[in-house]
Structure 1
């Protein structure tokens, strides 16, 4: 039995997230449909993480097991000939039997794109959150510092989450202005459901002067979702890379 790893990218706009859900389009369902056609087998795809509805990916990692003999250097070509334009197989490799896209991962890197200018941009509307008022990036950076380290992120997760312990190791958070854009980059061993988006929503409130930077540490310690800011919309978030 071969174990195959594939790096995929997708525009999450028209999908109800990565993970399979009956009756609605998901990225996992598309990948399993295509791989079943290629391998002539029922294929189960394992992803490195369950991106929410509307969230994008440049470097999502999947793995699946198969008896099919398709050459590894032909797999992406075969997949892309059958996938819709919103999903693409980027690279494939054969890996050890014990490799698992989710459980073998050491870190995930997400980036959130905020278009920070007076007017929106039609061609960026699917991939960035338009915030009209100027953001104080320095204050946002200061506010993010208490979130780095091994922390209980209950305040920054959905109240109805089902992903186990709320403790995560946030390795870094960087907030930087790139022209008209403000990019929030977050690297952690794993993320709770909506955690990245709630962090961004809270930091934006700091950047707008709605909250002070010093409040974020108190929010973290409160372990209460009601104390944090609103959840940023999904379309600005992208899974950039998974580290193994």
Structure 2
């Protein structure tokens, strides 16, 4: 049995997220499984490194599947990209150890949230960044973001309902880069809760426009209360950049 690893890039604009749904094939996983199952003439389950939500994009999603097919790697790569829709591309196809598991072996992930920070919108960035008109104080946002680095219970920054699963996560690094009117907020961590980055971004924006003080972050972490955190920013500004193993 061969184990095939894929590195995938996709525009999530019109999809219902990564995870296959029972009543719809409008998912990234569903599209990949349909093409690959046809290729090897048998049902195939794709294992992803994690779920991306509806409207979220990826430059470095990782997945793997197992097959008895003897098709050469190069031919597998050509076939998949030929039959996938144009907004999903497999960048690399690699044969790996049978023990490799794209989700369980992942050590950390990098996500980036993009904000187009100018009063004039960009027709070219509108699908891939959040347009925010007001001036943001990047220095304040950087200081606030430092409070999020480390191991914390992030349930106040998530849309997770009551759960028996741990909501403790570790953020290793947060960086903010300004390139012209584009702001890039990158997060590296061992995992992220449902809507966690988008809620963190909504909270950081409130600090960036000086509606909230920096200690606002401490308050959310301490109280673990979603209702006092910022709004959930739209999904189209969020990209899964890379998965680390």
Q: 2: distance between equivalents of 1:151 and 1:98?
A: 31
Report the CA distance between 1:212 and its aligned residue: 1.2
Q: 2: distance between equivalents of 1:33 and 1:103?
A: 24
Q: Give the structure 2 partner of residue 4 of structure 1.
A: 4
Q: Deviations over 1:77-120 (max 9, x none)?
A: 11000000010000011111111111100110000000000111
Q: 2: distance between equivalents of 1:88 and 1:80?
A: 6
Q: 2: distance between equivalents of 1:196 and 1:168?
A: 12
TM-score by length of 2: 0.97
Partner of 1:58, secondary structure, is strand
Q: Deviations over 1:112-162 (max 9, x none)?
A: 000000111112111000000111111100111111011110111113376
Distance of aligned partners of 1:213 and 1:176 in 2 relative to their CA distance in 1, 3 Å threshold: farther
Q: Give the structure 2 partner of residue 23 of structure 1.
A: 23
Alignment of 1:110-149 (within 5 A): 110-149=111-150
Q: Deviations over 1:19-49 (max 9, x none)?
A: 0112231000000001011111100001011
Which runs of no fewer than 5 residues in structure 2 stay unpaired? none
Report the CA distance between 1:72 and its aligned residue: 1.2
Q: 1: distance between equivalents of 2:164 and 2:45?
A: 21
Q: Give the structure 2 partner of residue 83 of structure 1.
A: 84
Which runs of no fewer than 5 residues in structure 1 stay unpaired? none
TM-score by length of 1: 0.97
Report the CA distance between 1:61 and its aligned residue: 0.2
Partner of 1:37, secondary structure, is helix
Q: 2: distance between equivalents of 1:163 and 1:124?
A: 39
Partner of 2:121, secondary structure, is coil
Q: 2: distance between equivalents of 1:201 and 1:174?
A: 16
Report the CA distance between 1:74 and its aligned residue: 2.2
Contact 1:163-1:193 within 8 A present in 2 as well: no
Partner of 2:124, secondary structure, is helix
Q: 2: distance between equivalents of 1:143 and 1:212?
A: 9
Contact 1:163-1:192 within 8 A present in 2 as well: no
Partner of 1:122, secondary structure, is coil
Contact 1:161-1:193 within 8 A present in 2 as well: no
The yes-or-no answer on 1:185 pairing with 2:147 is no
Q: 1: distance between equivalents of 2:27 and 2:237?
A: 18
Partner of 1:211, secondary structure, is coil
Q: 2: distance between equivalents of 1:159 and 1:101?
A: 23
Alignment coverage as a number of residue pairs: 244
Q: Give the structure 2 partner of residue 63 of structure 1.
A: 64
Q: 1: distance between equivalents of 2:162 and 2:185?
A: 23
More displaced stretch, 51-60 vs 143-152: 143-152
Q: How well do the aligned residues superpose, as a CA RMSD in angstroms?
A: 1.2
Partner of 1:64, secondary structure, is strand
